[in-house]
């Protein structure tokens, strides 16, 4: 905030300066010994709080404050006087002053007046910010506003639009979970980047910052400002989330909608799973390593090698992440891969999936672990279908995994599968461990706990309900099991995610 002091007496000004010392670390405090200089400064910098003596040579405090309020009506006024004169008080209140303090000013009285003035400013800014957010969100969507609320007029000239996407378009983690609220961010922007910066949330994931820039602003200057914003936000969320940042220059002749659409296109071509990104140019993707993995996966499906299949899937996704493959590129590659599997393996009951549907799933993911589980589920069902008619030893495990994925919340025993497939339980236990790397009970526990984590991430709050949904009738035993495998209880995990 800008706090303006107006006092013609040197000793009184020194006393005011001393009383304002506690505010100097977080606010800009400026002083003037005459009204004309104060008005000139206020025209340029719009003070938030004005503390002025009333009796001064030349233009008195009432006249000075009247002028300041005429071009900046949101300023909070505190008037000082050595006279307990009713007419002064009435004139001050009629003018719009919020406080009238008698000299000599006591520190406690001034602190209370400052507290009330700041609270009024915060309320006013919150209301203005709400109205501005509404207007901007309408402009970004191309909705015409009423003439008296035409927000485009407030954004004439050139503006830097920096757009930050938290996590992913539709992931369960949003700005409200991050702890990075608009208020403190806006204060940081105005203090460190530009005093006229503004900020708006389009939804739970995308946040847009607007900063006025010169018509001849250079690209490196725009990038530097956006990079500072990106770095600041990364420091706030780096322990819990990733962000994706792009920027665009809005020229005077352009609408907000045009520039916003360009920003969205940049983001779509930039986002990667589980890795923060900042305004990079897409590179050509050869896909050689991806298709090498795809051929091996096809062979493992034909041979019923589920353990090797899962290992190769993990390798495939690791390669995509290492190569910097974006979500859009990933959706194209996976769509081609799944269609190729369908027609090479010719399993009639198994449906491939389109690029758009894959992308719709990808934008809900926070990391590639969710994508891995999704692919394992689809390919396990494909493998089970391929080998359903004549289950061989190595083909039994995919069928078991498919069943577990659908019935993990039920009471399930390895003995049931041994009877179904006419093999000994000891043999099936060794086969299961060889194919998955887990014994049967541990695999089922991991599956149930992963499902529990998904429910916690999606907003489920009742631990007893989550316990029942993943197959545990005793919530206490569920919590003990959860902690044994994750290191924290469900309640601690939920608090940590917040």
**Average pLDDT, 10 consecutive residues per value, the chain (498 residues):** 93 94 91 94 91 88 90 90 73 79 89 92 81 80 62 76 95 91 89 89 92 91 94 90 95 90 92 88 71 91 84 93 88 89 70 84 91 90 67 76 91 84 81 91 93 88 90 93 91 78
Contact (Cβ atoms closer than 8 angstroms) between residue 402 and residue 378:
no
- Rounded CA gap, 276 and 67, in Å? 49
Alpha carbon separation from 10 to 7, 41, 139, 452 (Å, rounded):
8, 20, 50, 69
Q: In the chain, what is the straight-line distance between the N-terminal and C-terminal CA atoms, in Å?
A: 31
The pLDDT value recorded for residue 282 is: 57
- Rounded CA gap, 245 and 275, in Å? 12
Q: What angle in degrees, to the nearest 10, is found between the helix axes of 440-457 and 425-436?
A: 50
The pLDDT value recorded for residue 131 is: 77
Look at residue 328 and give its three-state secondary structure: helix
Contacts of 358 (CB under 8 A, 6+ apart): 330, 331, 334, 335, 338
The pLDDT value recorded for residue 256 is: 87
Taking the CA of residue 478 as centre, how many other CA atoms within 13 Å lie in the half-sphere pointing to its CB?
23
Contact (Cβ atoms closer than 8 angstroms) between residue 47 and residue 3:
yes
The pLDDT value recorded for residue 111 is: 93
What tokens appear for 111 in the block? 């602190």
Look at residue 6 and give its three-state secondary structure: strand
| Domains of the chain, first to last | 2-122 (3.40.50.2300), 152-278 (3.30.70.270)
Contact (Cβ atoms closer than 8 angstroms) between residue 108 and residue 18:
no
- Rounded CA gap, 109 and 48, in Å? 19
Work out the number of other CB atoms within 10 angstroms of the CB of residue 440. Answer: 20
The pLDDT value recorded for residue 391 is: 55
Alpha carbon separation from 423 to 49, 305, 403, 444 (Å, rounded):
83, 18, 17, 20
The pLDDT value recorded for residue 59 is: 86
- Rounded CA gap, 301 and 313, in Å? 12
> Which letter does DSSP use for residue 276 in this model?
-
Entry pTM: 0.58
Look at residue 77 and give its three-state secondary structure: strand
């Amino acid at each position: 905030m800008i706090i303006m002091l107006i006092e013609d007496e040197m000793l009184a000004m020194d006393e005011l300066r001393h009383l304002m010392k506690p505010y100097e670390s977080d606010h800009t405090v400026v002083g003037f010994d005459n009204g004309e200089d104060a008005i000139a400064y206020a025209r340029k910098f719009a003070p938030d709080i004005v503390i002025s003596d009333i009796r001064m040579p030349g233009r008195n405090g009432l006249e000075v404050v009247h002028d300041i309020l005429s071009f900046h009506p949101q300023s909070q006024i505190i008037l000082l006087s050595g006279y307990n004169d009713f007419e002064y008080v009435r004139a001050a209140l009629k003018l719009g002053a919020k406080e009238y303090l008698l000299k000599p000013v006591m520190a406690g009285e001034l602190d209370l007046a400052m507290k009330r003035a700041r609270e009024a400013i915060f309320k006013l800014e919150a209301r203005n910010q709400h109205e501005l957010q509404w207007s901007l969100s309408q402009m970004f969507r191309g909705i015409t506003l009423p003439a008296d609320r035409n927000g485009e007029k407030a954004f004439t000239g050139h503006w830097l639009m920096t757009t930050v996407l938290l996590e992913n378009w539709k992931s369960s983690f949003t700005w409200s979970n991050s702890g990075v609220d608009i208020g403190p961010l806006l204060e940081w922007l105005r203090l460190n980047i530009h005093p006229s910066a503004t900020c708006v949330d389009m939804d739970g994931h995308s946040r847009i910052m607007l900063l006025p820039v010169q018509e001849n602003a250079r690209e490196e200057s725009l990038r530097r400002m956006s990079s500072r914003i990106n770095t600041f936000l990364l420091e706030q969320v780096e322990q819990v989330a990733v962000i994706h940042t792009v920027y665009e220059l809005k020229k005077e002749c352009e609408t907000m909608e045009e520039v916003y659409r360009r920003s969205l296109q940049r983001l779509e071509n930039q986002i990667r799973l589980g890795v923060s990104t900042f305004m990079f140019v897409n590179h050509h993707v050869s896909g050689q390593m991806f298709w090498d993995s795809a051929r091996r996966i096809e062979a493992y499906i034909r041979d019923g090698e589920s353990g090797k299949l899962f290992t190769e899937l993990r390798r495939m996704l690791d390669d995509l992440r290492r190569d910097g493959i974006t979500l859009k590129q990933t959706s194209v590659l996976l769509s081609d891969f799944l269609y190729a599997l369908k027609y090479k393996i010719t399993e009639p009951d198994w449906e491939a999936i389109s690029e758009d549907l894959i992308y719709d799933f990808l934008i809900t993911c926070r990391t590639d672990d969710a994508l891995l589980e999704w692919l394992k589920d689809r390919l396990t069902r494909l493998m089970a279908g391929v080998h359903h008619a004549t289950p061989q030893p190595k083909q039994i495990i995919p069928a078991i995994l498919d069943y577990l994925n659908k019935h993990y919340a039920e009471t399930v025993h390895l003995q049931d599968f041994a009877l179904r497939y006419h093999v000994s339980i000891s043999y099936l236990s060794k086969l299961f461990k060889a194919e998955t790397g887990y014994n049967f009970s541990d695999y089922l526990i991991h599956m149930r706990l992963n499902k529990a984590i998904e429910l916690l991430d999606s907003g489920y709050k009742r631990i007893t309900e989550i316990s029942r949904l993943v197959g545990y009738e005793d919530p206490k035993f569920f919590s003990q099991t959860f902690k044994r495998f994750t290191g924290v209880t469900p309640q601690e995990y939920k608090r940590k995610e917040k």
